[in-house]
Structure 1
Amino acid sequence: MKDFSPHTLLAIAQETFGIWLWVGLLALAGLLALYGFLVLARAPFRGGPRTGALVAGVLAALAAVALAPRLTDAGHAHLVAGIDLVAMALIAAGAFAGGVLVAWPILAALFGLPGRRRRAGLTNAAPRASR
């Protein structure tokens, strides 16, 4: 198991993805920062942003199922074994989750931010007046 240390896995990922590994990690950091900002700004993550994110997730899953065989130099006719169908289901599930997680904060930022900014607090209670 020492061959699968984090350092080795990072080297494999760098060799496999090249510059796209770092682009993806920077995009992930930006996405996490956007989530943090929206939580502090008290943007609602329900209603329209949630529905839009679910629709984006379904579209991403359908696109992944349609494109995955072609991107691996295969075709849908090559998916004959059960493990192939399981792999396609996992690809679709991953694309759905990724689509939802990426679209949700973007839609919440575009359509869900309140008009009047409120300061973030640890509780919802209003500050008490001193006696």
Structure 2
Amino acid sequence: MDNFNPFTMFAILQESLGLWLWGLLLIALVLIIGVVSGAMKLRFARRSLKRPVLAAVLAGSVATAIFFMLVPSWTMATHGALNGPVDYLAAILIACIPGGGITAMVFSMASWRCARRTTGVCDKSMA
């Protein structure tokens, strides 16, 4: 376990995922840039984060619930394979991965839209 560091983890992921790793890293980078730029646009437009965050949390929760039902099929198992609390926790955590991506995407789109709107249409100004 002495050699178990971030470089080793990256090597394991690169060997396991191959070219998919670079695509996933690119998607993660785009989502991070989208969330940060959306929050900055709202800040510069003096708008509240309330509605974009609410929309993102709602969409992410629905997506996580949908993906929770799909997780056993990813491993070619049935829902009967979820026997204990640890199994359910693992399935929920795995479902949170695409749910988090959808949350970030919805927040980015909603914040950009709210930042472009005129005062009073999306929400009250932060003044």
Summarize the Cα distance change of 1:35–1:65 in structure 2 as closer, same or farther, 3 Å threshold.
closer
Q: Which has the higher helix share?
A: 2
Paired positions, count: 115
Return the alpha-carbon distance in structure 1 between the equivalents of residues 97 and 33 of structure 2: 22
Deviations 1:44-66 (A, max 9, x none): 4222x223212211122112211
Could you tell me which residue of structure 2 aligns to residue 113 of structure 1? 115
Alignment of 1:63-74 (within 5 A): 63-74=66-77
What is the root-mean-square deviation in Å for CA atoms of aligned residues? 2.5
Structure number, greater radius of gyration? 1
Unaligned 5+ runs, structure 1: 117-131
Summarize the Cα distance change of 1:3–1:79 in structure 2 as closer, same or farther, 3 Å threshold.
same
Return the alpha-carbon distance in structure 2 between the equivalents of residues 18 and 103 of structure 1: 28
1:63 counterpart SS class = helix
Output the amino acid matched with 1:113: A
The TM-score, its normalising length taken from structure 2, stands at 0.73
Unaligned 5+ runs, structure 2: 119-127
Return the alpha-carbon distance in structure 2 between the equivalents of residues 34 and 90 of structure 1: 23
Return the alpha-carbon distance in structure 1 between the equivalents of residues 26 and 87 of structure 2: 32
Return the alpha-carbon distance in structure 2 between the equivalents of residues 40 and 77 of structure 1: 45
Equivalent pair of 2:55/2:110 in contact (CA under 8 Å): yes
The TM-score, its normalising length taken from structure 1, stands at 0.71
Q: What percent identity do the matched residue pairs reach?
A: 29
